[in-house]
Amino acid sequence: MQEVEQTTTLNPQIKEAAIKHVKNKFIQAGDSDLIRVLKKESFKHIYKKMIVDPDDFMERPRPADIEPWGGQKPGGPRDFLKSKVVLPSLPQVLLEIQKVIKNPDSSADDLAAVINKDPKLVAAILRLANSAMFSFSSEVETTSRAVALLGFRQASSLALGTVSLSLFKRTAGTSILQIEKLWKHSIACGVIAQEIATSAGHNDVERFFVAGMLHDIGLYVVFEGDRSLAMELYEYASRDGHSFYDAEMEFLGFDHATLGGVIIKDWSFPQSLVAAIDGHHNPARDQNGPDAAIVHVADFVAQALGYDLGISSVIGRIDDEALEKIGLSTDRYAAILPNVQKLIDEIFEILNQT
Ligand SMILES: [Fe+2]
């Protein structure tokens, strides 16, 4: 943070407020080279945001139509899901896209055929292909042409992202959890998870993108399912250096990650995706692959870069064992940061119009 302070002329009041904000945000995070790098990035973002969007730092008033929470703890994630049915049915198209990606014999035409089944997906793919992100010489009018031009990987990631985000709808529950923030956070976590996995030399990196996109599905269900409880959690997490995870453990006895794991398992998604979502706040729960560890770190980095959910002033902790399991140096993380921010904003802009 010192470098930023020394090399730029900053407004002293805003600088002071931003430093205080960063300090509080990282209060549980400890100290390491990586944390120092992330704090610096976080400061830059918060300082800028305090200038362009100061309202985002004001405490939001409690929506008038939310009843006080009755204090009735659910017996566990299953119990919670049984009493609050808020999710749409299994997104079959997501599984179909994953199947095409996994099959080494799949062609661009196979992917285009799956995408063509869903008009929203077709629109997203064509919008991306015709966006400023690419400068193709002529207008791209068909899915198969778009897949050919974008490349199989880029097109499949975008298709998976579109389907995942379509699960998070704008509804009454989102008066506390702002849907735009959830979308941005999910895209950020997906993009960063995929970058970390690529940098760490893993194959099949699209699965990390999907895991990042869907990692907070349990959180969405909490907010949709019980607004009074969600408000209670939100208010607790807004006070005294508590993270949202702390609030959940205090009031629920389980967290949204466990809840999300149950949902994804019920949908018969691959085990690696269940493990990533279930373990994204406790990565040691994933004994097998690096999935939970990578999503955990990506979630933290996303929040540090300003793609947070706005439901807590504290990020939480970063798990040392997860960092060890991933095995990247701080320099490798630092190298990822500049590229991901542009990519996240571009993907958001495109998907937001769909
Ligand atoms: Fe989470």
Q: How confident is the model at residue 349 (pLDDT cuts 50, 70, 90)?
A: confident
Higher pLDDT, residue 135 or 341:
341
Gap from CA of 284 to ligand 1 centroid (Å) = 15
User: pLDDT for 43-77, tens place per residue?
Assistant: 999 999 999 988 888 877 777 778 888 888 888 89
pLDDT value of position 216: 94
Per domain, the residue ranges of the chain are: 1-58, 77-88+167-352
Average pLDDT of span 201-211:
85
Residue 22 near residue 40, CB atoms below 8 Å: no
Q: How far is the CA of 339 from the centre of ligand 1 (A)?
A: 23
pLDDT over threshold 60, residue 1: no
From the CA of 108, how far away is ligand 1's center (Å)? 34
CB atoms within 10 A of CB 339: 11
CA of 146 to the centre of ligand 1 (A): 33
CB contact at 8 A, 233 and 184: no
CA of 215 to the centre of ligand 1 (A): 6
How far apart are the CA of 143 and the centre of ligand 1, in A?
A: 34
Instruction: Please give the structure tokens belonging to residue 284.
Output: 């040691």
d(CA 26, CA 241): 9
Dihedral (Cα; 210, 212, 213, 215), 10-degree rounding: 110
Residue 277, both tokens: 């979502």
Distance 240 CA to ligand 1 centre (A): 20
Q: How far apart are CA 281 and CA 295, in angstroms?
A: 9
Instruction: Write the CB contacts of 51 (distance below 8 Å, at least 6 apart in sequence).
Output: 11, 14
Between residues 334 and 59, the one the model is more confident about: 334
pLDDT at position 172 = 55
Nearest-Å Rg of the Cα atoms of the chain is 20
Distance from residue 23's CA to the centre of ligand 1 (Å): 21
Could you give the 3-state DSSP secondary structure of residue 27?
Answer: coil
Q: Which residues surround ligand 1, an ion (CB under 5 A)?
A: 216
The CATH fold of domain 77-88+167-352: Hypothetical protein af1432 (1.10.3210)
Hey, what amino acid is at 206? E
Q: Percentage of the chain surpassing pLDDT 70?
A: 93
Q: Rounded to the nearest whole angstrom, what is the distance from the C-alpha of residue 302 to the centroid of ligand 1? A: 11
Mean pLDDT score across all residues of the chain: 87
Q: In angstroms, rounded to a whole number, what is the distance separating the alpha carbons of residues 333 and 315?
A: 18
State how far the Cα of 125 lies from the Cα of 221, in Å rounded to an integer.
28
Contact between 251 and 233 (Cβ < 8 Å): yes
Identify which has the larger pLDDT, 43 or 95.
43
Mean pLDDT of 314-319: 92
Higher per-residue confidence, 272 vs 299:
299
Q: Pick 218 or 88 by higher pLDDT.
A: 218
Q: Does residue 171 carry a pLDDT above 70?
A: no
Contacts of residue 207, defined as CB under 8 A and 6 or more positions apart, other chains included, come to 98, 270, 272, 273, 291
**Distance, CA of 35 to CA of 233 (rounded, Å):** 26
Alpha carbon of 258 to ligand 1 centroid (Å)? 10
Measured CA to CA, the distance from residue 138 to residue 325 in angstroms comes to 45
Q: What is the 3-state secondary structure (H, E, C) of 281-326?
A: CCHHHCCCCCHHHHHHHHHHHHHHCCCCCCCCCCCCCCCHHHHHHH
Quickly state the pLDDT bin for 318 (edges 50, 70, 90).
very high
49 C-alpha vs ligand 1 centroid, how far in Å?
A: 23
Q: What is the pLDDT of residue 260?
A: 94
Ligand 1: centre distance to CA 280 (Å): 6
Q: How confident is the model at residue 3 (pLDDT cuts 50, 70, 90)?
A: very low
The confidence band for 170, taking pLDDT boundaries of 50, 70 and 90, is: low
Angle at 164 between CA 26 and CA 129, to 5 degrees: 105
User: What separation in Å is there between the alpha carbon of 249 and the centre of ligand 1?
Assistant: 13
Mean pLDDT, residues 300-317 taken together:
92
Element (H, E) at 241: none
- pLDDT over 50 at 109, yes or no: yes
So what's the pLDDT on residue 166? 80
Return the C-alpha torsion angle 40, 45, 46, 50, nearest 10: 140
Least confident of 5-9, 178-182, 237-241, 247-251: 5-9
Percent of the chain with pLDDT over 90: 44
Which pair of tokens denotes residue 214?
């869907």
Nearest-CA neighbor of 108 among 164, 157, 153? 153
d(CA 344, CA 186): 10
Confidence of residue 93 (pLDDT cuts 50, 70, 90): confident
pLDDT of residue 239: 77
**pLDDT, position 174:** 59
CA distances from 230 to 215, 238, 340 (A): 18, 12, 30
